[in-house]
A and B are shown apart, each in its own frame.
Chain A
């Protein structure tokens, strides 16, 4: 007989088919489910890593932004301060310079006044000497005799002083 009967139970065949199913189970587990699960888990991990990276970068960017903003506002304040300082300094220097200039000018004016006074006095003196000598000479000529310079000095001086006052 070459064919089995339509219903023929054989314990070995049953065991064999049972083992076949177990083998197929192992094959599917090792060759299909394991690699696919692995790749899915890997992808999930990668995506999670990407998410983490993105959120970390985001946080970093936020932090940077905040610090820059802080720095910017600080820089603005600092710039204002610097400008204010510079303005103050310039003002102060300006004042100092003005003061010095004024002092110098006053000194110059004073000196000029003093010079002028001295010149005037010198001129008065020389004029007086001149007048004294001229008047002496004239008086000598007129009176005809020599005038004692020392005798007449007081007289002449008072005359000249009166003349200078007029």
Chain B
């Protein structure tokens, strides 16, 4: 049964390759564009184009979902399998990351950080299969960054909007505009950092591939017949670059995005103040209930 889930988790990638082969026209030469648009749903504000990036990110989500089902299938309390060791290691690792970077209060963030990590990393790694990496679309990463921004603001507002508004006048009130700019800059910088790294990686890869092909043509072009057409320089060298741009950069950007999320959310949350208020509220409530009990006793 679990092998079915494993196969199902691989299927979305194969489906992505099939979709790419069937529906996306091959680009010739240097053609740096965004994602291929399959069709557009008519909506106000420009309509919703269903692009390769969207489809690929759904495929990634499907793949992760089936992989989760595969991992958590047949969990036991005794005589655990290697698979279970791995999945428990993963979960505890993410929990440890949250605990170290955000503190006990934010333990509920563990699945969210795991979602960011896995979605970002696997989206970037889509390029290994020759698919369009969704992370090189600003809209995808922008959506995540906006969600993170909402979370940051939500936690900053936990002590009430007044404290949140006051935090902009820190340390001196006339710096408020700068503070507002830096606040808004957070999601933008997060989105552009991630998007830019992945996109620049694929652009550089493509440029180098084309350059190597031309260089190969220059060096070996005089050889008659089909041998002269073989781009020898394109063998091997782009693979090494791919290790950096696709594997390393993709995983690193995912980690950075997750790390920044944790730091911003935990850092923006005035935890001491919130705890103090919570304790005060609790004390007030207890006092009120004690008073009501005393009043009831007096009535009786």
Residues of A in contact with B, size category: 35 or more
Cβ 8 A contact of A13, one of B49, B71, B77, B116? B49
On whether the beta carbons of A27 and B143 are closer than 8 Å, the reply is: no
Contact stretch, chosen from B35-43, B237-245, B271-279, B284-292: B35-43
On whether the beta carbons of A10 and B68 are closer than 8 Å, the reply is: no
Cβ 8 A contact of B57, one of A12, A17, A29, A35? A17
Q: Which B residues touch A22, using CB under 8 A? A: 147
A45-102 contacts to B, CB under 8 A, are 46
Cβ 8 A contact of B45, one of A12, A27, A42? A12
User: Count of chain B residues with Cβ under 8 Å from any Cβ of A?
Assistant: 55
On whether the beta carbons of B71 and A10 are closer than 8 Å, the reply is: no
On whether the beta carbons of B68 and A21 are closer than 8 Å, the reply is: no
On whether the beta carbons of A4 and B35 are closer than 8 Å, the reply is: yes
Nearest Cβ distance between residue A15 and chain B, in whole angstroms?
A: 7
How would you classify the secondary structure of chain B's contact residues: helix, strand, loop or mixed? helix
- A16 interface hit (Cβ, 8 Å): yes
Cβ 8 A contact of B46, one of A10, A23, A36, A46? A10
* B139 and chain A: residue at smallest CB distance: A13
- B65 interface hit (Cβ, 8 Å): yes
Give the distance in Å from the alpha carbon of A4 to the alpha carbon of B139 in the complex.
11
* A35 and chain B: residue at smallest CB distance: B72
Q: Which B residues touch A6, using CB under 8 A? A: 32-34, 199
- Residues A21 and B75 in contact in the complex (CB < 8 Å), given A2-B36, A9-B139, A14-B139: no
Q: Which A residues touch B147, using CB under 8 A? A: 18, 21-22
Cβ 8 A contact of A36, one of B49, B54, B78, B91? B91
- B252 interface hit (Cβ, 8 Å): no
Q: Which B residues touch A142, using CB under 8 A? A: none
Q: Which B residues touch A21, using CB under 8 A? A: 115-116, 119, 143-144, 147
Interface string of A8-41 (1 = CB under 8 A from B): 1111111111111111111111011101110110
- A141 interface hit (Cβ, 8 Å): no
Give the distance in Å from the alpha carbon of A25 to the alpha carbon of B144 in the complex.
11
Given A17-B139, A28-B114, 6 extra CB contacts under 8 A: A2-B37, A6-B199, A8-B34, A20-B57, A22-B147, A28-B68
Query: Which residues of A does B touch, CB under 8 Å?
Result: 1-29, 31-33, 35-37, 39-40, 42-43, 46
A-B contact pairs, 24 of them (CB 8 A): A1-B37, A2-B36, A4-B37, A7-B34, A8-B139, A10-B139, A12-B47, A13-B48, A13-B143, A14-B142, A16-B143, A21-B115, A21-B143, A21-B144, A24-B64, A25-B115, A27-B61, A27-B64, A28-B64, A31-B69, A33-B110, A36-B75, A37-B91, A46-B78
Query: Which residues of B does A touch, CB under 8 Å?
Result: 25, 32-37, 41, 43, 45-49, 51, 53-54, 57-58, 61, 64-65, 68-69, 71-72, 75-78, 84, 87-88, 90-91, 110-112, 114-116, 118-119, 134, 137-144, 146-147, 199
- Please give me the 6 A-B residue pairs with the lowest Cβ-Cβ distance, nearest first: A17-B143, A4-B34, A13-B139, A18-B143, A12-B48, A29-B111
